[in-house]
Amino acid sequence: MDRQENKVTLHSDPQHGDYRSTTRGLAGDPLPLPKPFDFDLAADRLI
């Protein structure tokens, strides 16, 4: 979470020591989690 920019970043799909996928959004907006979770995280509680 970047509190100065009011943004969240989720890194996922780890492979060979690096992440292959990145999801970005605004802090407070739902953040879609990839499979196996496959639901929107209520990111407003992270603020």
- 20-46, pLDDT tens digit by residue? 999 999 988 998 998 889 999 887 877
The CB-side HSE value for 4 (13 A sphere, CA atoms) comes to 0
Alpha-carbon Rg for the chain, nearest whole angstrom, is 11
Per the CB < 8 A criterion, the answer to whether 1 and 27 are in contact is: yes
Q: Is the pLDDT of residue 18 over 90?
A: yes
User: Residue 28: is it exposed, middle or buried by C-beta count within 10 angstroms (0-12/13-18/19+)?
Assistant: middle
Q: Is the pLDDT of residue 5 over 80?
A: yes
* Structure tokens that stand for 34 in this block: 């990839």
